[in-house]
Amino acid sequence: MADEPKAPPSGGPSEPPAKSPEAPEGAAPPAKPAGKPPAPAGKPPAPAPKPAVKPEPWSSPLLDELQKRFPEAISDPLIFRKQPSIVVAKESLLGVCEFLKSDRGGSYTLLTDETAVDYPKREKRFDVIYHLYSFQRNDRLRLKVLVGEGEKVPSVVGVWLTADWLEREVFDMFGVQYEGHPNLKRILLPDDWTGHPLRKDYDILRQDDAWVQANLNIKSGQ
Amino acid sequence: MPEATYLDANELVINMGPQHPATHGVLRVKLRLDGERVLGTECIIGYLHRGVEKIAENRTYVQFAPYVDRMDYVAAVTNGMGYCEAVEKLMGVELPPRAQYTRMILAELQRIASHLLWLGTHALDIGAMTPVFYTFREREEILKIFENYCGARLTTHAFRIGGLQYDLYDGFEKDATKFCDYLLPKIDEYEELLSTNRIWMNRTKKVGVLSGKDAIALGVTGPVLRGSGVKWDIRKVQPYEAYDKVEFEIPTGQNGDTYDRYIVRIQEMRQSVRIIRQSVERLAPGPIFGKVGKVIKPPAAEVYHSIEAPKGELGYFVVSDGSTHPYRVRVRPPSFVNLEALDIMSRGHLVADIVAIIGTLDIVLGEVDR
């Protein structure tokens, strides 16, 4: 997984790729385009002109196979720093996961991580993200599922047992609901806490004052 | 584990922790017992939750770096290394060799320190009192090296995004080599105390057995996975820094029991010594910083990077929106995922074995709860 900066994309400081979940607030493009004019006369070479790297379209036999088996379900195949990622339609998630875990689908037997990212301005505000690892192929694959507020994601506990706690954490921190999870309740915060702290609209200073007062017997903010 | 809705006449629910010396912090385990036998466990965690991931979103990339040291606070160097590497990967920064080898030496020293602490407390939990005094003595030597290097012993914040804050102090190489020479006979000594000790073997063999298949299904990593016979180490399969340039082996167990995990960690310390020795030899004068600007502003993208921390796969998933603050930092903590295996590992064992199994998982609650 050594880093190899991609060939500098030809374009200038282009926007993040279409539909890519980044840049909720139309974030400014990052580094300058790979040094066109030299210009930095005088000063010592400022932070070397890095190629303005951005995710690129990904293609691979595995992706072709996936698209054949699950037409319409796979979108936005991107690769960045040799890390492929695809967006999977919520309805096909379990099927895709089962397939990826099977021998034909690359034996992604290890679910390394499951988490979420909140983009409150989007119509479907959450990205639920799965990081898979295949011992056979020695590579990782990132799945994303776009979920709106109040929608239910199928739980993958039946596919990878380890998702149990990970999904509970996502539920706890983001309030993403899972369908078919055996024991979906909060894991890090107290059961009767209100609010989901990792949502972007949950301020860092905010807390469940009522809970704090009732259980810790202190005025909140102390 | 689904909670029991009624209690059988023979079934008893008792609470272990959060104030319990053998839970290594504030872990609370609800045990369902039939006499002395464990029918199931439920972990209640979160007592040490500080919202590290939330803090990350409200700090710059640079400001957040010291926070990661507070997760696995007995292995702060590797935490920091994982975070710095993740951001470096996002930005596409290559480190100069001197920085890479320095990081490797300190990270391996940290691995030894973490394993020493684990060995001492694990043995103490099971009733062997002697090793803890010895292992803390050796660990102290490592902490002294850290202190000399960066001024801190535990929460070191030893690395910076893009390289190192400090170059190595004069005599570091000598200290590291001296420590390696000093440690190896000590490891033999621990083994003399424990490896063939009958009480130790009775307490650890066939306790907390985890098959390789179960281990993968449960997502455990690190020595716990290797103890179950899966030869998998991120330093080998997806090398970072300069781990592909040094020679070392991946010790594995066969039975997946507590004893095998003990052997794996003991062997890992020896392998770490090998890595340190080779890295020290390759330390050549040179720059210690890669090409990064004063302001860390990665491109709008996302990257997952994981390293082999002492406790398993420590992953950082960093999402950038192109600003100086991370949009989201997800920490994939090895302890959290490994602890999930406790329920399956402890079923059918005696209460006293729970202590051994919690010990063998080598969890740190600061990292479980974050």
The whole-number pLDDT of residue B116 equals: 93
Give the pairing of strands A83-88 and A139-147: parallel
Residues near B267 by Cβ (< 8 Å), separated by ≥ 6?
B251
More confident residue, B8 or B245: B245
Domain ranges of chain B: 51-338+353-369
What is the arithmetic mean of pLDDT over B206-212?
88
- Distance between B2 CA and the closest CA of chain A, angstroms: 7
The whole-number pLDDT of residue A75 equals: 83
Is the pLDDT score of A130 beyond 90?
Answer: yes
Structural domain includes residue A18? no
Q: What is the pTM of this model?
A: 0.82
Interface test with A, best of B57, B231, B296, B304 (most A CBs within 10 A): B304
Contact B302 A53 (CB under 8 A): no
More confident residue, B20 or B128: B128
Q: What H or E segment, with its residue span, contains residue B269? A: helix B258-282
- Distance between B353 CA and the closest CA of chain A, angstroms: 23
Structural domain includes residue A14? no
Contact A142 B304 (CB under 8 A): yes
Round to whole Å and give the CA distance between B96 and B78. 19
Residues of B in contact with A81 (CB under 8 A): 89-90, 92, 301, 303
Contact A129 B317 (CB under 8 A): yes
Round to whole Å and give the CA distance between A112 and B102. 28
- Lookup result for tokens 């490797």: B104
Contact A81 B239 (CB under 8 A): no
User: Which among A27, A48, A161 is the nearest to B218, CB-wise?
Assistant: A161
- pLDDT confidence bin for B273, thresholds 50/70/90: very high
Structural domain includes residue A97? yes
Residues of A in contact with B233 (CB under 8 A): none
Structural domain includes residue A213? no
What is the arithmetic mean of pLDDT over A88-92?
88
Percent of chain B with pLDDT over 70: 97
Contact A113 B332 (CB under 8 A): yes
Neighbours of A8 (CB within 10 A): 14
Structural domain includes residue A49? no
pLDDT in tens, A188-203: 888 888 888 888 888 8
Contact A83 B94 (CB under 8 A): no
Residue A64 is part of which domain span? Answer: 56-179
- Distance between B296 CA and the closest CA of chain A, angstroms: 10
| Single-letter code of the amino acid located at A117 | V
The whole-number pLDDT of residue B4 equals: 54
The whole-number pLDDT of residue B179 equals: 92
Contact B300 A54 (CB under 8 A): yes
* B 316-355 near A (Cβ less than 8 A): 317, 319-323, 327-328, 330, 332, 336-337, 340
Contact B297 A30 (CB under 8 A): yes
| Single-letter code of the amino acid located at B4 | A
Structural domain includes residue A80? yes
Closest CA relative to residue B298, chosen from B159, B96, B162, B99: B162
HEC sequence for B184-249: HHHHHHHHHHHCCCHHHHHHHCCCCCCCHHHHHHHCCCCHHHHHCCCCCCHHHHCCCCCHHHCCCC
Burial class (CB in 10 A: 0-12, 13-18, 19+), B323: middle
The whole-number pLDDT of residue B276 equals: 92
Contact A190 B58 (CB under 8 A): no
CATH superfamily of B51-338+353-369: Cytochrome-c3 Hydrogenase, chain B (1.10.645.10)
- pLDDT confidence bin for A3, thresholds 50/70/90: very low
- Tell me, what's the ipTM? 0.85
Closest CA relative to residue B162, chosen from B81, B68, B268: B81
- Cα dihedral: B68, B73, B78, B82 (round 10): -20
Tell me the average pLDDT of chain A. Answer: 76
Q: How many domains does chain A have?
A: 1
Strand partners, A184: none
Structural domain includes residue A196? no
Give the pairing of strands B11-16 and A74-80: unpaired
The whole-number pLDDT of residue A22 equals: 41
Polymer length of chain A: 222
The whole-number pLDDT of residue B2 equals: 53
- pLDDT confidence bin for A21, thresholds 50/70/90: very low
Residues near A221 by Cβ (< 8 Å), separated by ≥ 6?
none
Asked if A126 and A151 touch (Cβ cutoff 8 Å), the reply is: no
Structural domain includes residue A33? no
Residues of B in contact with A141 (CB under 8 A): none
